[in-house]
């Protein structure tokens, strides 16, 4: 908004002063850094090569011209090739009047063009979702909303890893030790029941390995030759050979997992436009591998296994088909990528996957390129850091994980306890209170995770996340509820822009500070989309909520001395509330109307 206006004025100024057209492609405008005075900064350095003048001279000329001709520049200061611009106070009032009543402020309409496809979640059907999956889902879902707000046509997809050796481990354990146990007979969610048998397999497998090592084998030999692992590998081969009994068990147990996942997704508040299953895509991957063999792009070794030689690209050989004919993860990812390209022709294909898979996606792109798929350059791996707990890392094979369902339930209970203690349940029915606890608990969880840059490893602390003070989701929710309380007490309809133009009122500095933050919301949304980072939105909405609370503490709204000031502050509060709701919505967080 303001940055775009200043950019256009800067382009016009360069044309007028230096008789040079610089076009729209140069990114000359940025927010002024906090340690300097000013609202926006013109970055002069890109102009020095074009104009062949010093950055100081260009900066001084631009500053003088804009101060005289722009209508919005009050002052400027040139600092080492940067022109820090201070906007006139009267202009901020105009910015407010032009935008406060726009319900879609900061949000662009989706363009009718090739979509951006975002894959997130990607669970395995051998265990329930855990805390790591929560971060994955929250980042993916929020990014989809942010890119949608940037005008992208977004398709949210999920790839369920429903086949492979890990699935066979759970199936084998259930076959041997379940005595026909089902989710209904056990009183457990289906994904939890399957996870129980995955852990049983791993425990028994480790015991066998330990015994073999004690009998004289090396650990590497024992890991390969333990009887349980051999049985699981034979089950996988039977699955790929379409053995009826194996397929029947696979269908039954996978459905338990799907039902469990759906319940968790509903509770978490995330969804998908399209769900893929690895069992449907791995054969297409095999076809791509066979095509690569026929073209001499891949190599089959003496044992029958198929490999991609990536040594020329600085990597190593990558296995695609095992010697027994079974496929690997890379095989199905090749098939899935091809299927998505054929279905959507996406301009960007984003995979939200942990940073331990960086090498995997480097290899995926290289193999697709080797196979002649030019669209492989559209693949982007949004690599995020792992989530740890104050007590350390999680280990799913040992059952030492924070289950997503249990964590969300714990957050709801904690939210209820703290809300009651703070006395925020006046006039709430039991049903309303339950809904509030859910909103607050999820806000605490989501905001605490999303405020951290996705690339960073983070420690999730439930107690810190649910504090009603500080940089937390509940604090921002409470700010929104406070604003709605003010509006209910005011009991006045929203004013029109014409009404405001007729009011002779100049905002005070604290009100201008709020308007300045509101004004950069559109550019903040764009920045979050360009950086693929919900943390940018989280930082913004916290700054806005904090600034409003300081304003609320220092200045009366409904009891201000002048009627014009009362009206202005009511509408300023309404605008802040609308932007908080929109920003939190981009993070997938609901805001309550009262607390």
Rounded Cα distance between 565 and 462, Å, is 41
- Same domain for 82 and 155, yes or no, is no
- How far lies 404's CA from each of 92, 142, 263, 370, in Å? 45, 18, 11, 39
* pLDDT at residue number 326: 78
Q: What is the dihedral of CA 40, 41, 47, 53, to 10 degrees?
A: 130
- Same domain for 213 and 67, yes or no, is no
Name the most confidently modeled range: 101-115, 279-293, 347-361, 556-570.
Answer: 347-361
Residue 236 in domain: yes
- 424 vs 581, higher pLDDT: 581
Last residue of a domain, which of 67, 87, 107?
87
Nearest CA to 116 out of 148, 139, 141 is that of 148
* pLDDT at residue number 501: 54
Residue 101 in domain: no
- Same domain for 55 and 145, yes or no, is no
Token output for 305: 């296994």
Q: Where are the alpha helices (DSSP H) in 242-353?
A: 244-268, 278-294, 329-344
Residue 107 in domain: no
Helix, coil or strand: residue 73: strand
- Same domain for 255 and 369, yes or no, is yes
- Same domain for 394 and 423, yes or no, is no
What average pLDDT does range 134-143 have in this prediction? Answer: 98
What average pLDDT does range 526-553 have in this prediction? Answer: 97
* pLDDT at residue number 561: 82
Structural domain of residue 425, as residue ranges?
404-586
* Confidence band, pLDDT 50/70/90 cuts, at residue 583: very high
Rounded Cα distance between 555 and 559, Å, is 9
What average pLDDT does range 221-235 have in this prediction? Answer: 95
Give the pairing of strands 40-43 and 82-87.
antiparallel
Rounded Cα distance between 104 and 149, Å, is 9
- Same domain for 341 and 458, yes or no, is no
- 452 vs 90, higher pLDDT: 452
* pLDDT at residue number 502: 60
What average pLDDT does range 507-530 have in this prediction? Answer: 94
Rounded Cα distance between 521 and 537, Å, is 9
- Same domain for 169 and 292, yes or no, is yes
- Same domain for 334 and 424, yes or no, is no
Nearest CA to 565 out of 516, 518, 503, 512 is that of 503
Q: What is the CATH number of the domain that holds 149?
A: 3.40.50.620
Residue 98 in domain: no
Residue 105 in domain: no
Q: How many CB atoms lie within 10 A of CB 203?
A: 13
Rounded Cα distance between 496 and 498, Å, is 5
* Confidence band, pLDDT 50/70/90 cuts, at residue 400: low
- Same domain for 188 and 227, yes or no, is yes
* pLDDT at residue number 394: 41
Average pLDDT, whole number, for the chain? 91
- Same domain for 410 and 377, yes or no, is no
* pTM (2 d.p.): 0.90
Residue 113 in domain: no
Looking at the structure of the chain, the number of domains it has is 3
Last residue of a domain, which of 357, 383, 398?
398
Rounded Cα distance between 210 and 412, Å, is 42
Element spanning 179, H or E: none
- How far lies 424's CA from each of 370, 417, 594, in Å? 61, 11, 9
pLDDT in tens, 156-170: 999 999 998 999 999
CB 592 within 8 A of CB 480: yes
Give the pairing of strands 306-309 and 116-119.
unpaired
Residue 96 in domain: no
* Confidence band, pLDDT 50/70/90 cuts, at residue 110: confident
């Amino acid at each position: 908004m303001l940055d775009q206006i200043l950019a256009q004025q800067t382009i016009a100024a360069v044309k007028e002063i230096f008789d040079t057209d610089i076009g729209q492609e140069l990114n000359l405008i940025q927010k002024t850094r906090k340690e300097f005075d000013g609202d926006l900064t013109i970055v002069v350095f890109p102009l020095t090569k074009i104009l062949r003048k010093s950055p100081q001279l260009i900066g001084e000329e631009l500053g003088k011209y804009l101060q005289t001709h722009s209508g919005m520049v009050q002052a400027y200061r040139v600092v080492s090739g940067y022109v820090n611009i201070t906007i006139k106070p009267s202009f901020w009032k105009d910015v407010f009047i032009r935008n406060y009543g726009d319900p879609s402020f900061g949000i662009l309409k989706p363009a009718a063009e090739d979509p951006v496809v975002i894959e997130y979640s990607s669970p395995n059907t051998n265990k329930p979702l855990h805390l790591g999956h929560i971060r994955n889902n929250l980042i993916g879902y929020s990014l989809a909303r942010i890119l949608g707000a940037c005008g992208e046509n977004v398709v949210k997809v999920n790839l369920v890893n429903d086949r492979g050796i890990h699935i066979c481990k759970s199936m084998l354990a259930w076959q041997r030790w379940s005595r026909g146990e089902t989710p209904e007979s056990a009183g457990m969610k289906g994904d939890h029941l399957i996870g129980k048998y995955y852990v049983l397999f791993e425990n028994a497998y480790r015991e066998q390995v330990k015994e073999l090592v004690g009998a004289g084998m090396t650990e590497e030999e024992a890991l390969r030759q333990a009887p349980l692992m051999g049985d699981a590998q034979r089950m996988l081969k039977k699955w790929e050979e379409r053995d009826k009994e194996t397929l029947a068990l696979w269908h039954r147990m996978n459905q338990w997992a799907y039902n469990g996942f759906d319940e968790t997704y509903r509770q978490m508040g995330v969804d998908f436009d399209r769900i893929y299953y690895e069992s449907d895509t791995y054969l297409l991957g095999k076809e791509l591998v066979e095509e690569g063999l026929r073209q001499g792009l891949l190599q089959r070794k003496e044992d029958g296994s198929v490999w991609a030689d990536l040594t020329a690209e600085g990597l190593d050989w990558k296995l695609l088909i095992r010697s027994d004919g079974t496929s690997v993860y890379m095989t199905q990812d090749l098939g899935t990528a091809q299927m998505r390209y054929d279905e959507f022709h996406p301009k960007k294909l984003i995979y939200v996957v942990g940073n331990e898979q960086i090498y995997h996606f480097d290899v995926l792109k290289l193999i697709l390129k080797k196979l002649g798929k030019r669209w492989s350059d559209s693949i982007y791996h949004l690599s995020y850091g792992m989530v740890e707990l104050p007590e350390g890392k999680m280990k799913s094979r040992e059952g030492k994980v924070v289950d997503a369902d249990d964590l969300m339930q714990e957050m709801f209970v904690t939210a209820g306890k703290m809300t009651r203690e703070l006395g925020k349940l006046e006039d709430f029915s039991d049903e309303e209170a339950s809904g509030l606890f859910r909103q607050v608990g999820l806000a605490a969880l989501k905001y605490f995770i999303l405020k951290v840059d996705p690339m960073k490893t983070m420690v999730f602390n439930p107690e810190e996340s649910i504090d009603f003070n500080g940089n937390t989701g509940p604090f921002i929710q409470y700010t929104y509820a406070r604003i709605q309380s003010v509006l209910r007490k005011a009991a006045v309809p929203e004013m029109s822009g014409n009404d405001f133009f007729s009011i002779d009122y100049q905002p005070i500095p604290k009100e201008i500070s709020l308007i300045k933050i509101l004004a950069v919301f559109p550019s903040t949304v764009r920045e979050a989309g360009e950086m693929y980072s919900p943390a940018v939105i989280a930082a913004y909405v916290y700054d806005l909520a904090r600034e409003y609370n300081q304003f609320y503490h220092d200045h009366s709204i409904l009891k201000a001395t002048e009627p014009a000031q009362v009206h202005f502050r009511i509408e300023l509060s309404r605008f802040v509330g609308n932007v908080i709701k929109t920003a939190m919505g981009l993070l997938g967080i609901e805001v309550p109307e009262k607390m």
